[in-house]
Amino acid sequence: MIPVLDITRDVCPMTFVKVKMGLTKVGPSGKLNVVLREEALKNVISSLKAEGHKITRVERKEAVFFLEVEKGGAAA
């Protein structure tokens, strides 16, 4: 089962900090599902890609987005 991290109540830069901390809890090439608001979407995705992680799914449901992140890069 893929862990879920809800950061809908957080604001930048804490959104990415919390996602990064969440990724430390999954194994190499593991996955993390992230629930976030649109305001954080662009920055979180660009920061994850810059660190070598892969976004394998982006889905919108009403006012929130769901990301599936595959751990990679320097953090793997």
Q: 65 in a domain, yes or no?
A: yes
- For 36-60, write each residue's pLDDT tens digit: 999 999 999 999 999 999 999 999 9
Please, which pLDDT band fits residue 31 given cuts at 50, 70 and 90? Answer: very high
Non-local (6+) Cβ contacts of 41 within 8 A are 58, 65, 67
Nearest in space to 33 (alpha carbons), one of 3, 12, 72: 3
- What is the reported pLDDT for 12? 87
Task: Provide the domain count of the chain.
Answer: 1
Q: pLDDT per residue over 8-29, tens digit each? A: 999 988 999 999 999 999 998 8
Is residue 51 assigned to a domain?
A: yes
Q: Does residue 8 belong to any structural domain of this protein? A: no
| Residue 34 placed within a domain | no
Q: What is the pTM of this model?
A: 0.90
Distance, CA of 28 to CA of 20 (rounded, Å): 13
